[in-house]
Structure 1
Amino acid sequence: MRDLNWGEYGCSDSSYIYVGQVLDKIIVQQKEHVESSFSDFEVRFEYGDEGLLRITNVCSNGYEEQRFP
């Protein structure tokens, strides 16, 4: 599945990657309108027996930011 967004300051293109029926990651490309190139990152989802354990943003330069919990 793919999602395109356009806003006042920029735009993004998100590709949703599933493993079976479970969302595994979202690959995001985004940029401000004044920029010529896109930046990209992945939103990764980790699951355990009880459900969702962690959501992490992972940038192409290796930087990671935990978003949940």
Structure 2
Amino acid sequence: MEKYSVYILFKNGRDMQFETVENPLDIEPIQINGIDMVITKDKYVVNLLAAERIEVVEIGNGLVDVLTAK
């Protein structure tokens, strides 16, 4: 089973890092109060509107994807 290390830099300057069993960039966002959110199987919740940059690394295989705000 793959594991992913996720690093998120938020627009307010804060950051967050966690490991999960699925790539959060492959998850279909859901709308909660009009905001696009991603919820992983590990129960991590990411507000995509607040994220400046999201980096996903597959542990053992390297960088998978980077998402930057426009």
Q: Give TM-score scaled by structure 2 length.
A: 0.33
RCO comparison, higher one (Cα < 8 Å, 6+): 2
TM-score (norm 1): 0.33
Greater Rg over alpha carbons, structure = 1
Q: Which has the higher strand share?
A: 1
Greater fraction helix? 2
